[in-house]
């Protein structure tokens, strides 16, 4: 069953239409790839679902309920979590405290409970030395913390915005395994924005392709990657 | 100039207000315009810095005050008329502006905005306190006969000297606009203001632009200070309200809009003069300014426009 | 984590502070009261600053509290304690209501608007003469405790402890996480379930409540209020410089800063009648340029170096 759905979702910034008429749905246990050339509106799309922006027109549904104008913090409490392409961790807090935030505010736990939950989540994900400052983390650790930060919400729906960017191939492999494991164990509905097609092929069950804000193709990766319109969108973007 | 269709009702409303004021008390309009000239000539240099260097200089009004004291002392010690003292004062202010930027502001450009805000606040306090220390809080004024020139139209007579502010504001406004769109340096400054990284990539020396623009703004507000000195009594805190008022005008105009500052100044100048014109209400005129500003900023914030 | 030593030092300090009037004469007690006043204001300013919002409205809420207390005492003859509590309540109420307007604003817009609000309060009080006494202000028939020095000391000390307690509560509770997250990354804070506006409103209201309370206590202790003294810009300036020097985003920072600057400025005031606040301006500039974390920031850094 569709957990999250959009209908004719549109976002306009002044004269620029960043997302245009996008309808999609995503179910529990499913990993969906969101691809498209730079500036296609992928991040804006996630911003609309997580509540950073409200749509100009069209709607977002969570379990059939219209949440188009629900504030971001309430969506977080109802199980939507995300990571950010440009990661700016809370630099005044240490690693553990960063992970605690979602447990405290989205999941509504008390401080001691949140501390315990954050410790076990970090252990599960493979983050150690939790009292380090976030500026001392390696790239892989930063990405892991970003995922832990999102998982702390206790989400049922998770959007990952380029979590593999900047990782080497071994790290990428490990990260793919981590995302797959988490999705399975927690029965998450996952949306993944990614530029590396190998990652998309390996990780996702299905992809949607955005170009200039519009959804131009949808289906399994193997199928979509042969779609002439998709090939043109990518080549057109590259040329 | 093209007229925006949305602006039409406002223009009609404005015209109606002008007619109403003329019918009620013509002097309100005159003093309002004069006041607007003063506000605009203080605010425009601040807008220049905010638009290009992206620094809110909370010492802006205090710089004007320092310049006024400088002018006063030159006038008192060697008997030079403030208008003639304008050039040496501009030179000194330019040097001061250069050093303020190089020694302090430059080092906080990459820091959080909080640091710049508090730094310039500290500079403002240092200036008022240093002037208090040297010259005591006593008010000072030069006895200049020409400032009380007046004119009579029909039955109303009014002071005309303050129209110099209007001239200064217009000169400054058009001068800066011309500079920014017609000179190499000005175009470079606009580019830096819009996108410092991009400007650096195409070979513009961003830091040099910042230094230049900041120094120019200190010179400009310094010159306004010299003129201010001819008319007003000065004391160490005389500049402080102008920092706040200038910022409010810049915020109201929208960052980077110089013509917007002129319109905002007119609105606020005339509104203040109108309140001053009501018998027994003059004490309230200060509030009009802040109320209008808060309303404007709040409306903008609610519309979700990026401030 | 909870070593007893962590509590012993602060408790001993609190106790020692309470005992001071036994050893000190009236003049040092008066100095201490003034230091406590600014210390409480510095702490209250920092409580909101932890969310990244710089208020320039300390003097505004301080003055509002002063006038609430003195108007209630003079016009309605209420008991001093009621007047002081009402000062806190009224400042908090005004902040709560205005919060819906100003807390949508960020950075400079917020700062300047808080400054403007203070000016508006002042203009209203200045002009509403029949009620507020106008420019000449109001005078209490009698100051609280009959002006007994040690009682006044304990009163302002109690208010200081209240401010410290509120600040520590902010540091040890969820507020610490929400305010820090808002300061560091507001957008990520939202998607972690933090209601930005509600948290800012709590911080703004709480910090204004303290400022109003301090104002109310101040006016009841000194016995008069005029627009120019109650809304004196120094009530914004001094706490700000104190918190910066001591170290922002902490409770200890404002305490350290207020102690240092409060005592120094008392001395300088005697030496230099006009312009002694020059020191404050210079300290603000130097701290921002060379020591943005303040003294407490340096201490913390040294400690963590030694421990790890």
Whether C9 maps to a domain, the answer reads: no
Query: What are the tens digits of pLDDT across the range C232-253?
Result: 988 998 999 899 999 999 999 9
Cβ separation A88–C177 shorter than 8 A: no
pLDDT-based confidence at residue B305 (cuts at 50, 70, 90): very low
pLDDT(A230) > 50: yes
Going by C-alpha positions, the residue among A101, A43, A111, A44 that lies closest to residue A76 is A101
Interface test with C, best of B54, B60, B109, B118 (most C CBs within 10 A): B118
Q: What is the mean pLDDT of chain B?
A: 88
Contacts 24+ apart (CB under 8 A), B264-269: B265/B35, B265/B36, B265/B37, B265/B39, B265/B40, B265/B43, B265/B169, B266/B32, B266/B33, B266/B36, B267/B36, B267/B292, B268/B36, B268/B39, B268/B292, B268/B293, B269/B32, B269/B33, B269/B34, B269/B35, B269/B36, B269/B37, B269/B38, B269/B39
pLDDT(B205) > 60: yes
User: Which distant-in-sequence residues (6+ apart) come within 8 Å of B154 by Cβ?
Assistant: none
Query: Any CB–CB contact under 8 A between C268 and chain B?
Result: no
Which domains does chain B carry? 7-302 (1.10.3470)
Q: What is the per-residue pLDDT for B3?
A: 57
Q: What is the per-residue pLDDT for C308?
A: 56
Whether C50 maps to a domain, the answer reads: yes
Q: What is the mean pLDDT of chain C?
A: 92
C219 and C247 in a single domain? The answer is no
Interface test with C, best of A51, A72, A112, A129 (most C CBs within 10 A): A72
Q: What is the per-residue pLDDT for B71?
A: 95
C106 and C185 in a single domain? The answer is yes
Instruction: Compare CB distances from C119 to B127, B290, B297 and report the shortest one's residue.
Output: B290
Query: What are the tens digits of pLDDT across the range C206-235?
Result: 999 999 999 999 999 999 999 999 999 889
Whether C14 maps to a domain, the answer reads: no
Instruction: Compare CB distances from B287 to C120, C272, C288 and report the shortest one's residue.
Output: C120
Q: What is the mean pLDDT of residues C144-165?
A: 94
C neighbours by CB contacts (3+ pairs under 8 Å): A, B
Q: d(Cα C124, Cα B287) in Å, to the nearest integer?
A: 8
Cβ separation A92–C185 shorter than 8 A: no
Q: What is the per-residue pLDDT for B16?
A: 82
Q: Of C180, C202, C226, which residue is a domain's last? A: C226
The distance of C7 to chain A (nearest Cα, Å) reads: 20
Residue contacts between A and C (CB atoms, under 8 Å)? 82
pLDDT-based confidence at residue A231 (cuts at 50, 70, 90): confident
Whether C194 maps to a domain, the answer reads: yes
C94 and C70 in a single domain? The answer is yes
pLDDT-based confidence at residue C183 (cuts at 50, 70, 90): very high
pLDDT(C5) > 80: no
Q: What is the mean pLDDT of residues B119-148?
A: 90
Query: What are the tens digits of pLDDT across the range A137-171?
Result: 999 999 999 999 999 999 999 999 999 988 999 99
Instruction: Compare CB distances from C181 to A50, A51, A90 and report the shortest one's residue.
Output: A90
pLDDT-based confidence at residue C279 (cuts at 50, 70, 90): confident
C46 and C194 in a single domain? The answer is yes
pLDDT-based confidence at residue A236 (cuts at 50, 70, 90): low
Q: What is the mean pLDDT of residues B78-90?
A: 91
Q: What is the per-residue pLDDT for B252?
A: 83
The distance of C200 to chain A (nearest Cα, Å) reads: 14
Q: Of C207, C226, C245, which residue is a domain's last? A: C226
Instruction: Compare CB distances from B287 to C123, C241, C284 and report the shortest one's residue.
Output: C123
Q: What is the mean pLDDT of residues A33-39?
A: 90
C111 and C157 in a single domain? The answer is yes
A neighbours by CB contacts (3+ pairs under 8 Å): C
pLDDT(B83) > 50: yes
Q: What is the DSSP letter of C73?
A: I
Q: Of C226, C258, C289, which residue is a domain's last? A: C226
Query: What are the tens digits of pLDDT across the range A76-100?
Result: 999 999 999 888 899 999 999 999 9
Whether C243 maps to a domain, the answer reads: yes
Query: What are the tens digits of pLDDT across the range A51-75?
Result: 999 999 999 999 999 999 999 999 9
Please state at what angle helix B258-277 crosses helix B7-24, rounded to 10 degrees. 30
Whether C161 maps to a domain, the answer reads: yes
Residue of B nearest to C99 (CA): B298
- Percentage, residues of chain B above pLDDT 70: 96
Cβ separation C184–A149 shorter than 8 A: no
Q: d(Cα C180, Cα A136) in Å, to the nearest integer?
A: 19
Q: What is the per-residue pLDDT for A31?
A: 95
Contact A211, A50 (CB under 8 A): no
pLDDT(C306) > 90: no
Higher pLDDT, C121 or B299: C121
C61 and C191 in a single domain? The answer is yes
Cβ separation C177–A105 shorter than 8 A: yes
C184 and C241 in a single domain? The answer is no
Which residues make beta-bridge pairs with A9? Answer: A22
pLDDT(A184) > 70: yes
Which of A189-203, B154-168, B288-302, C123-137 has the lowest average pLDDT? B288-302
Whether C48 maps to a domain, the answer reads: yes
Sign of CA dihedral B96, B102, B104, B109: positive
C133 and C222 in a single domain? The answer is yes
Cβ separation C109–B307 shorter than 8 A: yes
DSSP letter for each residue of C169-209: HHHHSHHHHHHHHHHH-HHHHHHTT--HHHHHHHHHHHHHH
Tell me which residue has tokens 């409970």: A113
- Percentage, residues of chain C above pLDDT 90: 68
Residues of chain B contacting residue C288, judged by C-beta atoms under 8 Å apart: 108, 115, 118-119, 122
C43 and C186 in a single domain? The answer is yes
- Tokens found for residue B111: 């820091």
Residues of chain C contacting residue B117, judged by C-beta atoms under 8 Å apart: 54, 107-108, 111
Residues of chain C contacting residue B297, judged by C-beta atoms under 8 Å apart: 105, 109, 113
Instruction: Compare CB distances from A106 to C193, C196, C249 and report the shortest one's residue.
Output: C193
Length of chain B in residues, anyone? 307
Alpha carbon B270 to its chain's center: 16
Residues of chain C contacting residue B302, judged by C-beta atoms under 8 Å apart: 104
Tell me which residue has tokens 């650096």: B200
C83 and C169 in a single domain? The answer is yes
Which of B9-13, C40-44, C253-257, C263-267 has the lowest average pLDDT? B9-13
Cβ separation A73–C193 shorter than 8 A: yes
Q: What is the mean pLDDT of residues B231-255?
A: 88
- Count of domains for chain C: 2
The distance of C176 to chain B (nearest Cα, Å) reads: 19
Cβ separation C244–B307 shorter than 8 A: no
Q: Which domain holds residue C247?
A: 236-308
Q: What is the mean pLDDT of chain A?
A: 92
Chain A positions contacting chain C at CB under 8 Å are 50-52, 71-73, 75-77, 80-82, 84, 88-93, 97, 100-102, 104-108, 111, 149-150, 152-153
Q: What is the mean pLDDT of residues B54-65?
A: 94
C210 and C249 in a single domain? The answer is no
Higher pLDDT, B92 or A236: B92
Cβ separation C189–A101 shorter than 8 A: yes
Cβ separation A76–C192 shorter than 8 A: yes
pLDDT(A23) > 80: yes
Cβ separation C116–B290 shorter than 8 A: yes
pLDDT-based confidence at residue C59 (cuts at 50, 70, 90): very high
Residues of chain B contacting residue C277, judged by C-beta atoms under 8 Å apart: 125, 129
pLDDT(B10) > 80: no
Whether C16 maps to a domain, the answer reads: no
The distance of A105 to chain C (nearest Cα, Å) reads: 5
Q: d(Cα C59, Cα C114) in Å, to the nearest integer?
A: 10
pLDDT(B63) > 90: yes
Which domains does chain A carry? 2-79+155-238 (3.40.50.300), 87-154 (no CATH)
Alpha carbon A42 to its chain's center: 10
C43 and C156 in a single domain? The answer is yes
Q: What is the per-residue pLDDT for A239?
A: 39
pLDDT(B307) > 60: no
Give the global pTM.
Answer: 0.90
């Amino acid at each position: 069953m569709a957990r999250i759905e959009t209908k004719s979702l549109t976002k306009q910034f002044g004269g620029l239409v960043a997302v245009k008429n996008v309808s999609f749905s995503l179910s529990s246990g499913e990993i969906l790839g969101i691809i498209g050339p730079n500036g296609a509106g992928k991040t804006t799309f996630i911003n609309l679902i997580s509540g950073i922006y409200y749509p100009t027109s069209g709607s977002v549904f969570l379990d059939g309920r219209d949440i188009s104008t629900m504030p971001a913090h309430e969506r977080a409490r109802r199980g939507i979590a995300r990571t950010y392409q440009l990661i700016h961790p809370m630099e005044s807090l240490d690693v553990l405290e960063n992970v605690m935030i979602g447990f405290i505010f989205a999941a509504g736990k008390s401080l001691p409970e949140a501390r315990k939950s954050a410790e076990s989540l970090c252990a599960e994900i493979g983050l150690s030395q939790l009292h380090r400052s976030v500026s001392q983390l390696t790239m892989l650790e930063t990405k892991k913390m970003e995922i832990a930060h999102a998982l702390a919400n206790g989400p049922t729906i998770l959007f990952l915005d380029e979590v593999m960017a900047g990782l080497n191939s071994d790290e990428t492999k490990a990260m793919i395994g981590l995302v797959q494991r988490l999705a399975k164990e927690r029965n998450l509905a996952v949306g993944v924005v990614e530029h590396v097609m190998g990652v998309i092929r390996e990780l996702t069950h299905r992809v949607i392709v955005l170009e200039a804000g519009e959804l131009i193709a949808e289906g399994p990766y193997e199928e979509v990657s042969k779609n002439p319109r998709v090939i043109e969108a990518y080549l057109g973007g590259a040329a | 100039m093209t007229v925006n269709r949305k602006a039409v009702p406002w223009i009609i409303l404005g015209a109606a207000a002008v007619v109403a004021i003329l019918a009620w008390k013509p002097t309100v309009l005159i003093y309002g315009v004069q006041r607007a000239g003063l506000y605009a000539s203080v605010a425009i240099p601040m807008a220049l810095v905010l638009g290009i260097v992206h620094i809110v200089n909370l010492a802006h009004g205090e710089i004007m005050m320092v310049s006024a004291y400088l002018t006063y002392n030159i006038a008192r010690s060697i008997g030079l008329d403030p208008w003639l003292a304008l050039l040496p004062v501009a030179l000194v202010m330019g040097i001061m502006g250069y050093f303020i930027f190089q020694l302090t502001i430059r080092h906080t450009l990459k820091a959080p905005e909080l640091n710049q805000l508090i730094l310039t606040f500290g500079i403002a306090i240092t200036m008022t306190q240093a002037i208090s220390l040297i010259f005591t809080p006593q008010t000072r004024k030069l006895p200049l006969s020409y400032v009380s020139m007046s004119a009579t139209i029909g039955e109303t007579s009014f002071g005309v000297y303050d129209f110099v502010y209007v001239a200064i504001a217009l000169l400054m406004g058009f001068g800066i606009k011309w500079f920014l769109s017609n000179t190499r340096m000005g175009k470079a400054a606009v580019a830096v203001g819009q996108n410092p990284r991009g400007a650096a990539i195409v070979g513009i020396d961003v830091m040099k632009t910042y230094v230049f623009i900041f120094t120019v703004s200190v010179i400009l507000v310094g010159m306004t200070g010299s003129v201010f000195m001819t008319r007003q009594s000065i004391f160490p805190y005389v500049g402080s309200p102008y920092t706040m008022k200038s910022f409010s005008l810049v915020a109201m105009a929208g960052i980077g809009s110089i013509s917007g500052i002129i319109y905002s100044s007119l609105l606020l100048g005339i509104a203040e003069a109108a309140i001053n014109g009501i018998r027994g209400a003059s004490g309230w005129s200060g509030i009009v300014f802040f109320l209008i500003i808060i309303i404007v900023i709040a409306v903008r914030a609610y519309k979700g426009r990026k401030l | 984590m909870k070593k007893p030593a962590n509590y012993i030092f602060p408790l001993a300090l609190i106790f020692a502070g309470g005992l001071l009037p036994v050893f000190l004469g009236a003049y040092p007690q008066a100095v201490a009261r003034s230091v406590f006043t600014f210390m409480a204001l510095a702490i209250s300013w920092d409580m909101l600053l932890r969310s990244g919002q710089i208020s320039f409205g300390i003097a505004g809420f301080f003055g509002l509290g002063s006038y609430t207390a003195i108007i209630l005492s003079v016009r309605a003859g209420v008991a001093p304690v009621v007047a002081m509590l009402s000062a806190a309540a009224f400042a908090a109420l005004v902040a709560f209501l205005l919060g819906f307007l100003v807390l949508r604003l960020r950075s400079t817009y917020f700062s300047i608007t808080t400054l403007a609000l203070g000016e508006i309060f002042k203009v209203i009080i200045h002009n509403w003469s029949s009620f507020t006494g106008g420019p000449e202000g109001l005078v209490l028939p009698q100051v609280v405790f009959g002006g007994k020095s040690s009682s006044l000391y304990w009163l302002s000390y109690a208010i200081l402890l209240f401010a410290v307690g509120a600040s520590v509560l902010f540091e040890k509770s969820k507020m610490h996480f929400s305010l820090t997250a808002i300061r560091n990354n507001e957008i990520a804070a939202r998607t972690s379930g933090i209601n930005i506006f509600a948290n800012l409103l709590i911080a703004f209201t709480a910090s204004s409540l303290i400022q109003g309370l301090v104002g109310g206590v101040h006016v009841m202790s000194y016995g008069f209020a005029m627009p120019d003294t109650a809304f004196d810009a120094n009530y914004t300036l001094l706490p700000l410089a104190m918190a910066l020097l001591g170290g922002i985003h902490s409770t200890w920072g404002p305490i350290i800063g207020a102690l240092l600057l409060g005592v120094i400025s008392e001395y300088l005031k005697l030496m230099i009648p006009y312009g002694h606040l020059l020191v404050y301006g210079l300290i603000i500039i130097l701290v921002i340029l060379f020591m943005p974390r303040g003294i407490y920031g340096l201490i913390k850094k040294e400690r963590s170096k030694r421990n790890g």
